[in-house]
Structure 1
């Protein structure tokens, strides 16, 4: 009984501890997040807006946030995000996730409104 109680307690602690995401990395010539999902840059003027995102930008193209303790490396840098966290950037351009992508390798946002682009690293 003590073993079951301990295991249940341990499972609760592990479930409450957020997993740290890995930094963006290259896969098949594309920059992806820790889940293998395509990352995007915004190529429009100024900041992304409802027209360029086809609706709510924060929902459709959320920033690719860094985990606490993540460190910049090479062309991958960190920028301050509006919420006090840090957002990944590639060659100085902020990185975003595309919620229209359903599985690793999808690039549904590539070319959207001629301002969203997946990041090729080769």
Structure 2
């Protein structure tokens, strides 16, 4: 059972690391086609802005070791000690409420979370 728990933890940690974000249908998405978000509020996201636990509801879009910035996509230090993707300086996040590619349930949430539309 201990080995299974460790395997699940390892899978969860590696699945959070992603290929570089890209544009699909005018939206910035992760490697699975899931919408990426930025926080446009003042300061850092809090439980009110995130509808609860920010790390759970809007986890950071983590970069894989060796990923390199390109154009408007840069890297910032992530809470886990690794790197997080950023777009024009704003850290990118996934939206836990999105269930399939193209979903944008977090877009406009509390007027501070927005999907990214590169221009």
Shorter-chain TM-score tier:
0.7 to 0.9
Q: Normalising by structure 2, what TM-score?
A: 0.85
Q: Which has more radius of gyration?
A: 1
Q: Contact between 2:36 and 2:92, CA under 8 Å: does it hold in 1?
A: yes
**Offset of residue 22 of structure 1:** 1.5
1:5 corresponds in structure 2 to none
- The alignment status of 1:23 with 2:10, answered yes or no, reads no
**Offset of residue 21 of structure 1:** 2.8
Q: Normalising by structure 1, what TM-score?
A: 0.83
Runs of 4+ in structure 1 over 6 Å off: none
Matches within 5 A, 1:1-122: 21-122=18-119
Q: Which consecutive residues of structure 2, in runs of 5 or more, have no partner in the other structure?
A: 1-10
Q: 1:7-62: CA deviations, max 9, x gaps? A: xxxxxxxxx8x576320000010000000000000000011100000100000000
Distance 1:59 1:75 in 2: 26
Distance 2:42 2:61 in 1: 20
Q: How many residues align?
A: 106
Q: Contact between 2:57 and 2:95, CA under 8 Å: does it hold in 1?
A: yes
CA RMSD, aligned part only? 1.4
